[in-house]
Amino acid sequence: MARRRSREIRIGDVTIGGNNPIAIQSMTNTKTQDVDACVEQIKQLEKNGCDIVRCAVPDMEAAKALTAIKSRISIPLVADIHFDYRLAIAAVEAGADKIRINPGNIGSIDRIKAVVDACAKREIPIRVGVNSGSLEKNLIEKYGHVSHEGLVESALDKVDIIKSIGYDNLVISIKSSDVMMSIKAHELIADKTDLPLHVGITEAGTMKSGTIKSSVGLGVILYQGIGDTIRVSLTGDPVQEVISAKEILKSLKLISGGIEVVSCPTCGRTEIDLVDLANKVEKITAKYPDATLKVAVMGCVVNG
């Protein structure tokens, strides 16, 4: 499939956009100030194929912890900032490779400029994130409800604010828990900017429902060539986000490698305990992420 041509942006030692591979991102759910726990989780994420990791920075203690965390990991570290612009500046000074902000809740233009200046000084990209749960009241009134048009307008307005300050080292994310709204928003914004897009279905849900919603939504978006980084947002172990993201990308032939296990759905012809066997095979093959192979587990002669 043809990829949307986007601008290249460097996040640490990972380059996104252009013809670069779609990067898998996840977010830690440990307390960021608990450096040991945070580092251990990040190492597990990296082991399972995570390319970029994001950490919440709710206070100054968390911001300062980023220095120690970054010194012990090998993938780019993104600081997730809300409300307090000083946390963004502190995160930059602590060594974050990218800052995620919503300019709408950071405050005045002077505060946004202070964040932009700090990032520009170190050539750190800013991810401009908007979410359907916090769409501005005026845009809800303009379109009559929370809409994909409102999300796109909100994102582009915020990008314009930062560009007016003189900085365009930017990534955009538009998130909604509504699959159709997410699809329409990404289709709309894809033609309005060449900035890289981080895609995902936010607040998708628990392991089962969240994986299904993310697979449907991201599948449609990615199939249209839209998306430069992805996250499968799940309530649970972040490692499962990475595993699910890899499977989505592999199913669309956007990444290769890894052992693919196919198994039949079972029927009355099944002659073995196929469910148990298929699960065991999948668990064993997961230990060989660099191998390229398709393994079939079938319960009778009909399928192979």
Q: Where in the chain is the domain with CATH 3.20.20.20?
A: 6-255
DSSP designation for 298: -
pLDDT recorded at residue 17: 96
pLDDT value at position 174?
95
- The three-class DSSP label of residue 227 is coil
The answer to whether 188 and 148 are in contact (CB under 8 A) is yes
According to the model, what pLDDT value does residue 133 have? Answer: 84
12 torsion bin: left (phi>0), alpha (psi -120 to 50), beta (else)? left
Using CB atoms within 10 Å of the CB of residue 35, give its burial: 0 to 12 exposed, 13 to 18 middle, 19+ buried. middle
Beta-carbon contacts of residue 30 (< 8 Å; ≥ 6 apart):
37, 38, 41
- pLDDT recorded at residue 204: 64
Separation CA 54–CA 69 (nearest Å): 11
CB 225 within 8 A of CB 22: no
Q: Is the pTM of this model over 0.75?
A: yes
Q: Show pLDDT as tens, one digit a residue, over the chain (304 residues).
A: 789 999 999 999 999 999 999 999 999 999 999 999 999 999 999 999 999 999 999 999 999 999 999 999 999 999 999 999 999 999 999 999 999 998 778 888 999 999 999 999 999 999 998 988 888 889 999 999 999 999 999 999 999 999 999 999 999 999 999 999 999 999 999 999 999 999 999 876 788 889 999 999 999 999 999 999 999 999 999 999 999 999 999 999 998 877 888 998 888 888 888 899 999 998 898 888 778 888 999 888 887 6
Q: Is 30 helix (H, G, I), strand (E, B) or coil?
A: coil
In the chain, what's the furthest Cα-to-Cα distance? 70
CA 273 to chain centre: 37
Task: Count Cβ atoms below 10 Å from residue 3 Cβ, excluding itself.
Answer: 17
Q: What is the pLDDT of residue 72?
A: 97
E strand spans, the chain = 9-11, 14-16, 23-27, 52-56, 77-80, 98-101, 126-131, 170-175, 197-199, 229-230, 258-263, 292-297
- Fold entry, domain 6-255: TIM Barrel (3.20.20)
